[in-house]
Amino acid sequence: MRKFSEIESWEEVEALVDTPGMEDCIAAVAQGSTLITMHFKEIRIWSLENLPHVQCVSTLKLPTSTDNIKLAHNTLYIYDAHLLVVDVSDITKPVIVHDQAITDLAMGCKTEDGFYLAIENEIVSLDAQGNFETLASVESYDRFFKSYPKDISKIDQTLVVVGRHLGVHIYAQTDSANWQLQSTHKVGYPPTTLHWETPGERMLLIGNSEVVRYDITNRKKPKRHKACKINKTELCGHYAQRGNEILVAGNKGAKDKFTAGVVELAQDSINLVQQPKLNYKIKTNRDRIKTLCVKDDYLLIIGSESGGFLFKAGE
């Protein structure tokens, strides 16, 4: 299997997508050979086992629809006016196993001891009995701009929150009831998603036109590595990984043209090592990338308006 950096172009090929299709996609997440797309009050689950055939294996009606979704360990978490948990261990029979009404929810994460939610300017926990507890306050304004939490993650006794006009906030649990702010860092751009490269030690922030790595081994003095920048590109926040390289994609220019970059994760730096061409036919100027998936020599990009775009690695 070739490294991402060895692929100079991806060429569009025909995707055989089952009905009801992927058009009008609100959000999308992938794990292994499974893709889940969010549509109006419905999720659709797809198998990518036999590309170029994109097989719809099931659908599930929902009481809400949102772009705040996460997929982890065969479970889909939907954070909106309803906090929904969907068991997708059997992708042919997804089941809602938790449904709770919540107001003003931005984003959350699930751990063994419950949920941790970023709700405007507060971090709140939610236990198995449905009890809410405010753990900490998050800086709500940066000069004249209100902050918007975009992602939150908990590792052991550490909570990390990132967001628009917010940057990075790191909290540590001092005892069973108290959380204290350890450090903040203004990222300089609005990060969209947080991904752990090494859980509890190194994280990748993806958003706007940048991929940024932080080493937070020292919670009070996190170390930021020089960012990888793909100029004038709005990255979708997701990536595909092959070895020590990740492939990111986003939209660029007035026509929201797809663009991609390959970032090498070296020991002491991250480096933009390739910007492959994506050769395809633009269907509309509003196809914001929702996610990307790589399987073998295929790259599948999900656009918000037109659905799936399938590419094959160039020779």
Domain boundaries, the chain: 4-313
**CB-CB contact of 91 with 47 (8 Å):** yes
Arithmetic mean of pLDDT over the chain:
91
What pLDDT sits at residue 82?
85
SS (H, E, C) 176-213: CCCEEEEEEECCCCCCCEEEEEECCCEEEEEECCEEEE
Q: Which residue has the higher pLDDT, 283 or 146?
A: 283
* Residue 168, number of CB atoms within 10 A of its CB: 22
C-alpha span between 176 and 124 (Å, rounded): 14
**What tens digit of pLDDT does each residue of 224-252 get?**
999 999 988 999 999 999 999 999 999 99
Q: Which CATH code is given to the segment(s) 4-313?
A: 2.130.10.10
C-alpha span between 1 and 10 (Å, rounded): 15
Q: Which residues contact 241 (CB under 8 A, 6 or more apart)?
A: 247
> In the predicted model, what is the mean pLDDT of residues 204-220?
93
**CB-CB contact of 5 with 290 (8 Å):** no
| pLDDT tops 60 at residue 141 | no
Residue 139: band (very low, low, confident or very high) from pLDDT cuts 50, 70, 90: low
**What tens digit of pLDDT does each residue of 42-58 get?**
999 999 999 999 999 99
Q: Which amino acid is at 272?
A: L
What pLDDT sits at residue 296?
96
**What tens digit of pLDDT does each residue of 104-123 get?**
766 899 998 889 998 877 88
Residue 274: band (very low, low, confident or very high) from pLDDT cuts 50, 70, 90: very high
| pLDDT tops 90 at residue 9 | yes
Q: Which residue has the higher pLDDT, 43 or 128?
A: 43
